[in-house]
Amino acid sequence: MSQLPPEVYQLIDAAIAEDQTFNDPTSQVLIPAEIIGVGMLRAKASGILAGMDVAGAVFHRVDQDLEVQALLAEGAALAPGSEIGTVTGSAGSILRAERIALNFLQRMSGIASDTNTYVRAVAGCGARIVDTRKTAPGHRYLDKYAVRMGGGHNHRMNLADGILIKDNHIEALRSQEVGLKEVIQRALAGASHTIKVEVEVETLEGVREAVDAGAHIIMLDNMAVDTMREAMQIVKGRAVVEASGGIDLETVRAVAETGVDLISIGGLTHSTRALDISLDLEFT
């Protein structure tokens, strides 16, 4: 198992405290300390694996003597019955850690699986599927890692990663009679040389202004597919183009075929469906 960032261990510790893992009367009363078992982690649905290292860290946090072995690599395809990994040792410890480990593993694998569905939907078009900052509080590192395991790519990890001028920024400055072009120029003038400037636009006129102002990335927000095609003709390769807003599996292929570079899907992380994974305790 690989080393994880400190914030992930803090998240695991918070989950252990929340679940009162070390105050479990069920295991304490019923399971003698000498009972040794093997917990087999199995997929009960098709998808993509993500989070085995985190699940392993949970087991080790609860009992450092538990032995965890991953049987599949991160990003591996899963089918019902796929054996993901094993955890061997005190049956009581395995049972105390089970739910927390599965919560992480199921959420992360669900995100990876949903992401991969979108990635396959746009195969051959050249557009990247990217996530957003619409992540569960405290889970951003894990949510975005899971997106990568599903074949997607990460947008900003946090506010410090770039300048993204959204509608509310534009409206705030418009109240001072500052137009979109000047907003972008101010951002470019004040940005570090390592920072990209992205601007959200909703109209073709906004696209023209953004291109003329020199924005590095132009986000087409909630645009119809036909309008996106017109926008791409205006940009003509002078900026990276991102499509965003209301895009789902029914529309993502058509959006990708307009030639956009990026397609951001907030639902990858804010509305994820956990992948069904179980732990079956076995004894020898």
| Residue positions annotated with a catalytic role | 99, 134, 166, 200, 221
| Rg of the Cα atoms in the chain | 23
| Distance of alpha carbon 133 from alpha carbon 144, whole angstroms | 9
Q: What is the dihedral of CA 96, 97, 102, 103, to 10 degrees?
A: 90
As a 3-state breakdown, the chain gives helix, strand, coil percent values, each rounded to 5, of 45, 20, 35
Tokens of 28: 């304490």
Q: No. of H helices and E strands in the chain?
A: 11, 12
Secondary structure element (H or E) that encloses residue 115, with its range? helix 91-121
